[in-house]
Amino acid sequence: MEMHLFHEHPLVFVEDQSNEGEKAYCSACGDVISDPCFSCAFYNYHLHNNCALAPHTISSHPLHPQHSGFFLRERPRPGNRVYGCALCKEKRNMFFYELNLERGSYSCMKSGCNYIVHVNCALEDERFYVVVERESQCEELYGSSAESTQSSITRVVEMEEETDRRCDGCMLPVSTLFYYCSESECHFYLHKHCAELPRVKRHWFRQSPANLDSRSFTYCDLCLRYCSGFFYEIRGLDVCLRCAEVRDVIEFQGHEHLLFYDFKCRERCNGCGADPGPYGAFRCGKCSFTLDFKCLSLPQSVVHKIDQHQLNLTYHDDNDYSKHLHCDICEVKRDRSLWYYCCSICDTSAHPDCILGEFPFLKYGITLSPRYWHTHRHDVQFHRKAEGYPNCLFCGQRCRREIVKCAESTCNYIAHFECWWHRL
């Protein structure tokens, strides 16, 4: 078992209840545990199998037909009000179902209806309730991201040719194992890992449920990049898949010690030299080494037209030759203490930003609907550049870098991406 919604540590399945002298009580229903259960290895926290697998949501109950939507709530904290069950009338500290007048919210407790039902009372007879969605709270996988695609997804074992395919989940190049849409004109690809992502999981950041969203465009609040693809929404923050996959304690190949996430860290990043964002960075407990989310989410290898081979992310440069320290794209001297991409065969090297570009994780051609992102009457699309370099609608300068333009061929709406974004 991975995690449970109401407990901060992983729970393990215990088959043998051999400690007969010590009674264990279920933290959900309060009854003595005698059968195999789930237990925390750190605290006296146990769950019956049925209680651990209780659905998050039931749509209705026959004894309370005037409202619909019941959501599982955590047992009250010590000193808080203890509720009485509407079925058995007993007041107990346990998991319970509460009517929530704002559907879909698991934390909002609006005043109004106080109908409360114990978890075991509500689920006592399967004829009395309907599960909105069967969710195994004991595992991270509540449903996979591939289920949200409208067309059928086909699994590919090998890539037949080297092409610029990017995963529509994490926006990194697809490897030798991926899924693609069977519709011939749809260029939709997913890594196997991204296709099997849980739609809901408990994330270490803010110790909150993370909900997978597949909107085509967002701004990651951790790495501070514009991103296409999937992301997780964590208590109001949008987190791209690359950042969401990072653990709170990591073993990084470019450093000899473990790195720990520190919300208050304000030290400059050893990868890029920049100050971390508002949500901290990873630092070493034994030395002054620091990494921000932006550098941690960089791809380890990339393909670029300046070299025929793959360029690998490199953490140290021991070459003192001055010509070697110049970026082969912008021709500006590099800081040898900062990260760069290089080809060990051709001795090509360049800044990460020069290799990846200004928007490395935005998919060219994505469509942005006006009901979500902007006030233009038509859909707009993101593109690398515009033919003829027309003037930007907002700043009036020539559009020589990434732009958004109207999807309708008869409409001349066009602007720099950054100018457009800052006016949303």
* pLDDT tens figures, 124-147: 545 434 444 444 333 343 344 444
Q: What is the pLDDT of residue 292?
A: 96
Q: Are strands 301-302 and 311-314 parallel, antiparallel or unpaired?
A: antiparallel
Q: How far apart are CA 135 and CA 209, in angstroms?
A: 13
**pLDDT tier, 424 (very low <50, low <70, confident <90, very high otherwise):** low
Helices and strands of the chain, counted as H and E runs: 7, 28
Which whole number is the average pLDDT over 211-225? 87
Which whole number is the average pLDDT over 238-265? 90
Q: How far apart are CA 129 and CA 106, in angstroms?
A: 19
Q: How many residues does the chain have?
A: 424
Higher per-residue pLDDT: 13 or 345: 345
Residue 414, Cα to own-chain centre: how many angstroms?
Answer: 31
Q: Which CATH architecture has domain 249-296?
A: 2-Layer Sandwich (3.30)
Asked whether 351 and 344 are in contact (CB, 8 A), the reply is no
Which whole number is the average pLDDT over 379-385? 85
Model pTM above 0.75: no
Is the pLDDT reported for residue 323 higher than 50? yes
Q: What is the pLDDT of residue 19?
A: 55
Average pLDDT, the chain: 74
Asked whether 361 and 229 are in contact (CB, 8 A), the reply is yes
Q: How far apart are CA 21 and CA 13, in angstroms?
A: 20
**pLDDT tier, 311 (very low <50, low <70, confident <90, very high otherwise):** very high
Summarize pLDDT for 98-122 with one digit per residue, the tens. Answer: 443 333 222 223 345 544 554 555 4
Asked whether 27 and 47 are in contact (CB, 8 A), the reply is yes
The residues spanned by each domain of the chain are: 1-139, 249-296, 301-356, 364-424
Summarize pLDDT for 403-417 with one digit per residue, the tens. Answer: 888 888 888 889 988
Q: Are strands 380-383 and 11-14 parallel, antiparallel or unpaired?
A: unpaired
* Cα dist from 408 to 56, 96, 185, 382, whole Å: 44, 52, 19, 13
Q: What is the pLDDT of residue 139?
A: 35
Identify the DSSP state of 148. Answer: G
**pLDDT tier, 328 (very low <50, low <70, confident <90, very high otherwise):** very high
**What tokens were used for 336?**
């040898």
Q: How far apart are CA 93 and CA 82, in angstroms?
A: 6
112: CB partners within 8 A, 6+ apart: 101
Higher per-residue pLDDT: 22 or 288: 288
Q: How far apart are CA 133 and CA 144, in angstroms?
A: 13
Terminal-to-terminal C-alpha distance of the chain: 43
